[in-house]
Amino acid sequence: MILKSQVEWALHCCAILAGLPEGRYLSTKALAELHGLPKEYLSKALQSLSQASLVETTLGPSGGYRLARAPSEINFLEIVEAVEGKALSFTCTNIRANNPCRAEGYCDSKPCAVARVMWEADEAWRDTLRRVRLSDLVGTLSEEVPAELWRSTFEWVLKRAG
């Protein structure tokens, strides 16, 4: 049960987009170079963010991506689900229904007890991600990343933002 690498990419890209000045866009090319990622494939992750309405896009030179909402209004779960999908990690195939002792046409009133536990764990995972906002990540980063690196990174990025 491993998350796609695109999840990591999308989170880091959102962190950068969150630091962009108002009204500026950042292209796939710039984000790929900044993180050392394959441009064409990263593009798929960014398209997922776009489809989830987490980012807005514009075409042409100086075009690219920017956040569709304030970083405080975007949480980790939204970003993760945008690229990973919303499917639950546990799929119940209802194997209890194959019990040869069951009466023909018998119908369970509740979802399988095994599935309920697994789904509860899934929900705990989602809850944790839901509680962390993109602005929390930016706050942590600006504390932990050396100020000079933080500054030069955005200088580098803005030079590529047209």
Partner DNA sequence: AAATTAAGGATATAAACTATCCGAAAATCG
Partner DNA sequence: CGATTTTCGGATAGTTTATATCCTTAATTT
Which residue, 1 or 124, is less far from DNA as judged by CB? 1
Residue 153 touching DNA (CB under 7 A): no
Residue 70 binding result from DNA, a copy of itself, none, given CB thresholds of 5 to 8 Å by partner type: none
Q: Is 49 exposed, middle or buried (0-12, 13-18, 19+ CB in 10 A)?
A: buried
Q: Is 144 in the site for DNA (CB under 7 A)?
A: no
- Provide the minimum distance between the beta carbon of 62 and DNA in the complex, in angstroms, as a whole number: 5
Report the C-alpha gap between 114 and 92 in whole angstroms: 8
- Among 87, 104, 107, 147, contact with a copy of itself (rule: CB under 8 A): 87
Output phi, psi for 67, to 5 deg. Answer: -65, 145
Sort residue 98 into left (φ over 0), alpha (ψ -120 to 50) or beta: alpha
Pick from DNA, a copy of itself, none: which does 82 bind, CB < 5 to 8 A by kind? none
Binder of DNA out of 29, 35, 69, 86 (CB under 7 A): 29
Return the residue of 11, 12, 24, 50 that touches DNA, per CB under 7 A. Answer: 50
Position 62 contacts DNA (CB under 7 A)? yes
Residues in the site for DNA, rule: CB under 7 A? 1-2, 4-6, 27-29, 38, 40-41, 43-44, 46-47, 50-51, 57-65, 162
